[in-house]
Amino acid sequence: MGLAPLPEGVSFEGATPHQVVIIGSGPAGYTAALYAARANLNPVVYTGLEPGGQLTTTTDVENYPGYVDGVLGPEMMEHFKAQAERFGADVRFGIVSHLDLSERPFRLVVDEEEPLLAETVIVATGATARYLGLENEKRLLGRGVSACATCDGAFFRGVDLAIVGGGDTAMEESLFLTRFAKKVWLIHRREALRASRIMQQRVFDNDKIQIIWDTIVTDVLGRDEVERVRLRNVKTGAERDLAVKGLFVAIGHDPNTGLFKSWLEMDDLGYIKTMPDSTRTNIQGVFACGDAQDHTYRQAVTAAGTGCMAAIDAERFLASV
């Protein structure tokens, strides 16, 4: 394995190792922090670029146990953070940019320059939205192309929009977009949705949403802003343009695990491999939880569950060495 070197000039001399360093601040990271803090391990959490993780780009969360009337995603993540901090978790805004996991204490570098030593590392870096990979999609990103309806939906009042995808995210986001848009075209590459039945039904029942089946987006057209999307029916090959002011992409996510590629074993999709019934990775003292290692469930509650497991695994590991 080719190991990326640490940046020159960063010295670890005199640094005191933290017992637990948690990388990532979604439900997994904060739950790991809560449990590690309550175990008196004084965890440090590095939030990454998006403190709170993907849930901060969601609206209503209706399926997190305990919130009878639902809760807003960003608000829920504030609750997670506050609860971890109440027991002494040290939450810091920063990005772990480099690491060396060859021996303990592990050597980490934050924001390219700050040295950090860790007896254990909990990886909770989550996942990031996927795009279609079209040239014009990239060019028009932020000018009508978006992967976050919650963030950008309100900019599109009274206009027609397109959204791509057939999973729960696409359902949730298309429903959300109907609050603003005149019409929402839901474009799906197959003839059946992948989303849960309850979400499908909500979409079917919404008069503002019209589904275009068996169809892919082959181009996004517009000079400075999105004006049209080009569609191709995958069964007939027929092409046509659809006039829309925005294109929302909701086709799944990729795990944020690039930083660990040289060190941790991963599956073909880049999800970190963990031992059966545990959050242990191939390196002793390094644990992985949440969407960075789970491509099956990917729920806030399962991420929180594995975050709890990671903290307990780290605690037991520290007690055993």
Which amino acid, residue 133?
A: G
Q: Which is nearer to ligand NDP, 61 or 91 (CB)?
A: 61
Helix, coil or strand: residue 146: strand
Nearest-angstrom CA–CA distance, 129 and 148? 9
Query: How far is it, in rounded angstroms, from Cα 111 to Cα 83?
Result: 26
Q: Distance between CA 115 and CA 221 in Å, rounded?
A: 46
Q: Which positions from 216 through 255 interact with ligand NDP, judged by CB under 6 A?
A: 216, 251-253
* 254 annotated active-site: no
Q: Which residue is nearest to ligand NDP (CB)?
A: 167
Q: Per-residue x/- marks for ligand NDP, 262-301, CB under 6 A? A: ------------------------------------x---
Site string for ligand NDP, 72-101 (x = CB under 6 A): ------------------------------
> SS3 for 76-104, per residue?
HHHHHHHHHHHCCCEEECCCEEEEECCCC
Of 3, 7, 63, 102, the one binding ligand NDP (CB under 6 A) is 63
Q: Which of 44, 99, 134, 164 binds ligand NDP (CB under 6 A)?
A: 164
Please list the alpha-helical segments (H only) found in the chain.
27-38, 73-86, 135-139, 149-152, 168-177, 197-204, 300-320
Q: Does 168 bind ligand NDP (CB under 6 A)?
A: yes
152 is catalytic: yes
Contacts 24+ apart (CB under 8 A), 10-18: 10/109, 10/113, 10/114, 10/115, 11/115, 12/107, 12/115, 12/117, 15/115, 15/116, 15/117, 16/117, 17/105, 17/117, 17/118, 17/119, 18/42, 18/43, 18/44, 18/116, 18/117, 18/118, 18/119
Q: Choosing from 60, 90, 100, 148, which is the catalytic residue? A: 148
Give the nearest distance from C-beta 273 to ligand NDP in angstroms: 19
| 289: annotated active-site residue | no
Closer CB to ligand NDP, residue 27 or residue 166?
166
In the list 79, 104, 143, 189, the residue contacting ligand NDP (rule: CB under 6 A) is 189
Cα–Cα distance, 245 to 156 (Å, whole number): 7
Contact 294, 306 (CB under 8 A): yes
The least CB distance from residue 181 to ligand NDP, in Å, is 19
Of 172 and 313, which CB lies nearer to ligand NDP in the complex structure?
Answer: 172
| Residues 123-162: x where in contact with ligand NDP by CB under 6 A, - otherwise, as a string | ---------x------------------------------
Residue 215, interface with ligand NDP (CB under 6 A)? Answer: no
Residues known to be catalytic: 148, 151-152
- Positions in the binding site for ligand NDP (CB under 6 A): 63, 132, 164-170, 172, 189-190, 194, 216, 251-253, 298
